[in-house]
Amino acid sequence: MRIIKSAIAVSLCILVNLLRGADGMVFYSMLAALWCVQMYRNNTLANAYQRIIGTIVGAAYGLAYILIYPMISASSWLGTVLEILCIFVSIVLVLYTTVLMHKNQTSYFSCVVFLSIIINHLGDVNPYLFVWNRFLDTMLGILIGVCVNNIRVCIRPDRKTLYVSGIDGILVDKENKISAFSKVELNRMIDDGLKFTVSTMRTPASLIEPLSDIHFKYPVIVMDGAALYDVKRSEYVKEYVISETTSNELVALMKENEMNPFINVIIDDTLLIYYGDSTDEVNRRLVESLRTSPYRNYIKREFPGDENVVYFMLLDSHERIEAFYTKLTERGYDKRLKILKYESYDYAGYSYIKIYNKNASKENMLIYLKENYGLENIVTFGTVSGKYDVVIEEDNFNKMVRLVRKRYEPFLPHFGRQKRAEN
């Protein structure tokens, strides 16, 4: 749409110039319009303001130069020296004026406007007319660019529904990156009023790394529903923790079976991960690969025993994980807690066990969001059939964003009413 809007803005500049009797300088209108057509509407307004200030400063100094030019112009070498000196002083003044105005980002445009006046049009019959037209055409281009970039093809966007998406295989690829299309479109819609968040087994640290540029306004569901995290404020909104008694029982059982747990606790909105010495090379590699992140806090010491555990994680060989899982079920922990067991994709021959509070689930967190954030509808996107409202084929990374866009901003009003009725 940015490409299409850019072409529309340029065409409108030509049309406006024709309506003015083709007396303007449409080239400058086009440049200003293109500068204002940005990916995000907030950037459009910032760029428009930047261009306006730059044009005013440059045009003012250009006009001042025109007024003093007759006094310094001469055919001798002295006149040439004075002219160069005046240009030197003028550029210094232009730049310093933007600094005094705390508008350093407008310096380039101010100089461009100033130089276009004194270099290309000083010899015109009426240079004052050029200054006026340069200013007027730039303002028209800015106005056209801002208006076009705020065109809405959808009459009634769906701002009542919270859209919730998974991450892996939907938003983030195997290289832990989000596509430029998904990032731009999500941010554009979120800035416009889209209610959007994600649900993942990842910790906030693992989520922030690939999605740090997304403009989240609603808390994200992390650690498979064990916690709700506000990315913008860097704080946990809600968490389901394992009781102190049960945590110490599990730690004792793990020591008894020579298991090496990673114990995740939340203290003052900071996730700490306790771990111990391990002779297992895979566990060492896991720690070395993750502890370098500034978002993770690994602590190599024994678990204190009096802190709220969000979840335990074990990574070991298939055989040892299977044996320990059997002991957990024999002692009835699978009835008291949420226990997940699955193979590792990164370490061949190894499996994970993750242990959470029994109430830790995406569904419970969605209920909390709906009740505490005034949400009317929730639509979920994921890769598992029967578990989500909309199933996305794994590794079809832009599909979810396209589907959200169709639901959020339908092209026709009746289509939007139909979708709201279905929800």
Q: Is the confidence at residue 231, as pLDDT, over 90?
A: yes
For the chain, give the mean pLDDT: 87
DSSP state of 385: T
DSSP state of 409: S
Q: What is the pLDDT of residue 155?
A: 61
Q: Is the confidence at residue 311, as pLDDT, over 50?
A: yes
**Mean per-residue pLDDT, 137-166:** 85
Q: Is the confidence at residue 243, as pLDDT, over 50?
A: yes
Q: Is the confidence at residue 422, as pLDDT, over 50?
A: no
Contacts of 202 (CB under 8 A, 6+ apart): 167, 168, 222, 223
**Mean per-residue pLDDT, 23-34:** 84
pTM, entire model: 0.71
Q: What is the pLDDT of residue 367?
A: 95
The CB density around residue 342, as the number of other CB atoms within 10 Å, is 11
Q: Is the confidence at residue 168, as pLDDT, over 70?
A: yes
Q: What is the pLDDT of residue 376?
A: 87
Q: Is the confidence at residue 413, as pLDDT, over 60?
A: no
Q: What is the pLDDT of residue 277?
A: 84
**Residue 409: pLDDT band with limits 50, 70, 90:** confident
Q: What is the pLDDT of residue 255?
A: 94
Q: What is the pLDDT of residue 382?
A: 92
E strand or H helix at 29: helix 26-36
Least confident of 42-46, 49-53, 418-422: 418-422
**Mean per-residue pLDDT, 78-85:** 82
**Mean per-residue pLDDT, 50-62:** 89
Q: What is the pLDDT of residue 153?
A: 60
Based on the number of CB atoms within 10 Å of its own CB, is 300 exposed (0-12), middle (13-18) or buried (19 or more)? exposed
Q: What is the pLDDT of residue 72?
A: 73
**Residue 95: pLDDT band with limits 50, 70, 90:** very high
**Mean per-residue pLDDT, 103-121:** 86
Top-confidence residue, 293 or 253: 253
Instruction: Give the phi and the psi of residue 62 in degrees, each rounded to 5.
Output: -65, -40
> Tokens at residue 74, please?
């001469």
Rounded Cα gap, residues 306 and 311, in angstroms: 14
**Residue 296: pLDDT band with limits 50, 70, 90:** confident
Rounded Cα gap, residues 165 and 391, in angstroms: 10
What is the distance of C-alpha 121 from the center of its chain?
A: 44
**Residue 154: pLDDT band with limits 50, 70, 90:** low
Which long-range CB contacts under 8 A does 195-198 form with residues at least 24 apart?
195/159, 195/160, 195/161, 195/162, 195/163, 195/375, 196/162, 196/163, 196/164, 196/165, 196/404, 197/162, 197/163, 197/164, 197/165, 197/221, 197/369, 198/164, 198/165, 198/166, 198/167, 198/171
Q: What is the pLDDT of residue 125?
A: 58
Q: What is the pLDDT of residue 1?
A: 72
